[in-house]
A and B are shown apart, each in its own frame.
Chain A
Amino acid sequence: MSLKALKLTLVKAWPGALWLIIVAGPLVILRVNEITGRVEFVAERVVKLLVGAFLAAFLWGLFRQLSGSPEGRKGNPPPLKRLGLSALIGAFISLKVNALNKSRLFWVIVALCLLFFPLMTSPYALKVATSVLIYIALGLGLNVIVGLSGLLHLGFAAFYGVGAYAYALLGHYLGWGFWVCLPLGGLAAALLGLALGLPVIRLTGDYLAIVTLGFGEIFRLLLTNLDVTFGPRGIGQIAPPGFFGLDLNQTFKPFLEANIGLNPAMDLNKVWIYLIVLGLVALSVKVASRLENSRLGRAWLALREDEIAARAAGVNIAFTKLTALALGSFFAGLAGVIFAAQITFINPPSFSFMESIYILVIVVLGGQGSIPGIILGATIITVLPEFLRGSDNYRLLIFGGLLVLMMVFRPQGLLKRGR
């Protein structure tokens, strides 16, 4: 991009900036004081407004120019060609992944690093790592539904919640342990996925999105209003997963601390959960990548590309949709059980619509249908907020804007799925 073109973009940004100032201005610089009930003029925001509006308009124009004229393109637009930072990173990573895929040694090293990660780190880093892994599992589950099959699911957190509540409630009322509840939580979520799938099998695209959203909201409202689930108070003191009936902290901790230099603050139960979720993610990645190239996986892709054509080609639409919903929900259920064990306290807000959106952002950001993309997406979404210690709403503001920008400029995600 030449300097001249850059200058032109700068000049062209003025009308857009002016428009943004007029549109957004009143809500930014005038604030209603909730105590006095009067409108206040917030002077320090004026500069922010001016700079922000101009920057937004300029970047918008720049991106538009770099990604080619959006009006003229058909279907999938070309990647950001010249600036193409994200495209570059994406290409680089996928190149590396492709090259490294063949070397067994690399994967052994990665596996060893991940396995021994808890021994070298702090409890805080372990917690973040466990969250990343749980979100990867969730992302992989939603990927089957949204990324591969093209069914926009907006109530995914409900299935995650089913797993978590299955473990918490079975543990509380019947005293059942983690290992019994893990498959049960997954199955419960899968069954619920089928139960949701049966009535909505005829729906496509946007209707399906709304029904799944409504379903998720019904689930959350029921959790909040029923007494069995302890309502908004939630359930606490959820037991950690067992290890052959041994108390991990008593049995192994002194030995590990003395010989390997384990961080004394580390709770070995959390390490055990980390290892379990690591195993689950490894298994999910394997299952997902095998499924992608199976007959069923091809049927999902056909469904995503064109339902009518898929039907004409002999794909059983009902079966294909139901398996996608059930399998995706199964992953979510498993992740939910582990989440409950890790966090030891769950309540309905953990499974709200916004949680569904986080998981959707992971899938969309990484690149729909791409497994390395999901791993990248989950890592970004979980680790980035830990650095940006701001309010939760800034995060949501950024995610919302990100979803729009991703769709406009790079709908195929950071890591495009090669096919």
Chain B
Amino acid sequence: MNFFLELLVGGLTKGGIYALIALGYTMVYGIIALINFAHGEIYMIGAFTGLIASLFFSSLGLTGWALLALVIMVAALWAAMYGLTLEKIAYAPLRKASRLSPLISAIGASIFLQNFVLLTQTPNYLLFPDLASDLPGLSFLKPIAHLASPIQVCVIVMVALILAVLTFILKKTWTGLAMRAVSQDPLMAQLTGINLNKVIARTFILGSVLAAIGGVLIGCATRQIDSNIGFLAGLKAFTAAVLGGVGSAPGAVLGALILGFAESFTAGYFSGDFEDVVAFVLLTLILTIKPSGLLGQKIAQKV
């Protein structure tokens, strides 16, 4: 039973982080129908800037909650800038091109960013500092430490908080309203006075911030990062987004949790070798059986 609960918590942690990345995919897809292939690299860059920031600030003597908050803020800021630059260089000029062009451009950007970080930093694994395990005020978690480590609890709580904030942004703010309007009908939205490029830029910023937070959290949870983490995580998050129905935010979270559990249980009860295969098999199955995903709407193609 304990083993089962451990796997459950592990799956929940993983799923939560996939959800943070998957939301970026799904929001961008909802608005400009583009698979932002380089989104996984933004997550990786978030992890790296987070690492640099944490090493820098801890050498200044910061610890605890202040350090964690500052690291997340710096990582989110830089990831947002990378996301914005990516949009302006690789996607914005291709707004009117054929569907294949932005996708190839996105793959190119992904390879570029991955090797950029590899060449400027290191091809090896880097140790990520333990930012969350001895945070003051978390000692009440000691009794359940054998089931869920403090960092796992931290990740789960933070993901839940972020999702709440995101729901608020999407449902209650003007930006969220504009995003939803653009995703329903870009032309009509523009006619009502919405600046399309501004909304797209904000979507990229929002998605990148979420991915960067995911990057910092995964760094804390696995304690090591390298320049390749973005590729696989991006693919899995995309799988999660497709699973839930691309374009639907709650669907992305649901898909991410399902994927997290599926991976965790496969690794626990079957074999760790096949953990990575699960996502791809799931993806192929979903796309062949129900391409619109669990919560997605089937949109008739207009001619």
In the complex, chain A residues whose CB is within 8 Å of the CB of B288: 199-200, 202-203
Contact of B96 with A73 in the complex, beta carbons under 8 Å: yes
Contact flags A11-42 to B (C-beta < 8 A → 1, else 0): 00000000110111011101110100111000
**CA–CA, A31 to B101, complex, Å?**
34
B-contacting residues, A148-186, CB 8 Å: 150, 152, 154
Contact of A152 with B126 in the complex, beta carbons under 8 Å: no
Residue B242 is within 8 A (CB to CB) of chain A in the complex? yes
Query: A38-B59, A39-B52, A152-B104 are contacts. A27–B97 as well, Cβ < 8 Å?
Result: no
Which of B14-22, B63-71, B77-85, B249-257 forms part of the interface with chain A?
A: B77-85
Contact flags A198-220 to B (C-beta < 8 A → 1, else 0): 01101101110111011101100
Residue A394 is within 8 A (CB to CB) of chain B in the complex? yes
Contact of A199 with B284 in the complex, beta carbons under 8 Å: yes
In the complex, chain A residues whose CB is within 8 Å of the CB of B301: 308
Contact of B81 with A22 in the complex, beta carbons under 8 Å: yes
- Closest CB in chain A relative to B116 CB, distance in Å: 6
Residue B4 is within 8 A (CB to CB) of chain A in the complex? no
**CA–CA, A71 to B287, complex, Å?**
34
In the complex, chain A residues whose CB is within 8 Å of the CB of B82: 23
Residue B191 is within 8 A (CB to CB) of chain A in the complex? no
B-contacting residues, A31-81, CB 8 Å: 31-32, 34, 37-39, 45, 60, 64, 70-71, 73-77
B-contacting residues, A277-321, CB 8 Å: 308
**CA–CA, A373 to B35, complex, Å?**
27
Contact of A26 with B102 in the complex, beta carbons under 8 Å: no
Contact of B281 with A218 in the complex, beta carbons under 8 Å: yes
Query: A31-B120, A214-B235, A401-B112 are contacts. A408–B90 as well, Cβ < 8 Å?
Result: yes
Contact of A210 with B35 in the complex, beta carbons under 8 Å: yes
Contact flags A340-366 to B (C-beta < 8 A → 1, else 0): 000000000000011001001000100
Query: A34-B126, A70-B93, A150-B100 are contacts. A400–B108 as well, Cβ < 8 Å?
Result: yes
Contact of A357 among B85, B94, B107 (CB under 8 A): B107
Contact of B115 with A207 in the complex, beta carbons under 8 Å: no
Least CB separation from A368: chain B residue: B100
Residue B141 is within 8 A (CB to CB) of chain A in the complex? no
Query: A28-B120, A218-B277, A308-B303 are contacts. A210–B283 as well, Cβ < 8 Å?
Result: yes
Residue B181 is within 8 A (CB to CB) of chain A in the complex? no
Contact of B108 among A31, A60, A353, A401 (CB under 8 A): A401
Contact of A206 with B35 in the complex, beta carbons under 8 Å: yes
Least CB separation from A214: chain B residue: B280
Contact of A404 with B291 in the complex, beta carbons under 8 Å: no
Least CB separation from A30: chain B residue: B52
Contact of A205 among B52, B59, B93, B103 (CB under 8 A): B103
Residue B48 is within 8 A (CB to CB) of chain A in the complex? yes
**CA–CA, A213 to B231, complex, Å?**
12
Contact of B115 with A31 in the complex, beta carbons under 8 Å: no
In the complex, chain A residues whose CB is within 8 Å of the CB of B48: 27
Contact of B280 with A400 in the complex, beta carbons under 8 Å: no
Least CB separation from B115: chain A residue: A397
Tally chain A residues at the interface, Cβ within 8 Å.
Answer: 68
Chain B interface, DSSP helix/strand/loop, else mixed: helix
Residue B56 is within 8 A (CB to CB) of chain A in the complex? yes
Contact of B108 with A39 in the complex, beta carbons under 8 Å: no
In the complex, chain A residues whose CB is within 8 Å of the CB of B199: none
- Closest CB in chain A relative to B67 CB, distance in Å: 14
Residue B118 is within 8 A (CB to CB) of chain A in the complex? yes
Contact of B277 with A221 in the complex, beta carbons under 8 Å: yes
Residue B204 is within 8 A (CB to CB) of chain A in the complex? no
Contact of B120 with A400 in the complex, beta carbons under 8 Å: no
Contact of A364 with B104 in the complex, beta carbons under 8 Å: yes
Residue B259 is within 8 A (CB to CB) of chain A in the complex? no
**CA–CA, A127 to B98, complex, Å?**
38
Contact of A200 with B123 in the complex, beta carbons under 8 Å: no
Name the residue in B45, B55, B111, B120 with the highest tally of chain A Cβ atoms < 10 Å from its Cβ: B111
Residue A393 is within 8 A (CB to CB) of chain B in the complex? yes
Contact of A411 with B235 in the complex, beta carbons under 8 Å: no
- Closest CB in chain B relative to A56 CB, distance in Å: 10
Residue A272 is within 8 A (CB to CB) of chain B in the complex? no
**CA–CA, A391 to B115, complex, Å?**
11
In the complex, chain A residues whose CB is within 8 Å of the CB of B273: 221, 225
Contact of B242 with A210 in the complex, beta carbons under 8 Å: yes
Contact flags A392-406 to B (C-beta < 8 A → 1, else 0): 011011011111101
In the complex, chain A residues whose CB is within 8 Å of the CB of B51: 32
**CA–CA, A28 to B95, complex, Å?**
30
A-contacting residues, B135-154, CB 8 Å: none
In the complex, chain B residues whose CB is within 8 Å of the CB of A27: 45, 48-49, 52, 116-117, 120-121
- Closest CB in chain B relative to A130 CB, distance in Å: 26
**CA–CA, A357 to B102, complex, Å?**
15
Query: A203-B287, A210-B283 are contacts. A407–B104 as well, Cβ < 8 Å?
Result: yes
Least CB separation from B122: chain A residue: A34
**CA–CA, A71 to B45, complex, Å?**
29
A-contacting residues, B14-62, CB 8 Å: 34-35, 45, 48-49, 51-52, 55-56, 59
Contact of A207 with B291 in the complex, beta carbons under 8 Å: yes
- Closest CB in chain B relative to A220 CB, distance in Å: 10
Least CB separation from B125: chain A residue: A34
In the complex, chain A residues whose CB is within 8 Å of the CB of B34: 206
**CA–CA, A357 to B109, complex, Å?**
12
**CA–CA, A62 to B235, complex, Å?**
35
In the complex, chain A residues whose CB is within 8 Å of the CB of B118: 393
**CA–CA, A402 to B48, complex, Å?**
24
Residue B99 is within 8 A (CB to CB) of chain A in the complex? yes
Contact of B94 with A407 in the complex, beta carbons under 8 Å: yes
Residue B89 is within 8 A (CB to CB) of chain A in the complex? yes
Contact of B291 with A203 in the complex, beta carbons under 8 Å: yes
Query: A28-B120, A211-B283, A357-B107 are contacts. A400–B94 as well, Cβ < 8 Å?
Result: no
10 contacts between A and B (CB under 8 A): A19-B85, A32-B52, A32-B121, A37-B127, A211-B283, A214-B279, A217-B280, A354-B111, A404-B112, A407-B108
Chain B residues at the A interface, C-beta cutoff of 8 Å = 34-35, 45, 48-49, 51-52, 55-56, 59, 78, 81-82, 85, 89-90, 93-105, 107-127, 231, 235, 238-239, 242, 273-274, 276-277, 279-281, 283-284, 287-288, 291, 301, 303
Q: Which 5 residue pairs across A and B have the least CB separation, nearest first?
A: A403-B108, A400-B112, A400-B111, A214-B280, A407-B105
Q: Other than the known A70-B94, A393-B119, what 12 A-B pairs have Cβ atoms closer than 8 Å? A: A20-B85, A26-B78, A75-B96, A200-B284, A206-B34, A207-B291, A218-B277, A221-B277, A400-B108, A406-B108, A407-B97, A407-B101
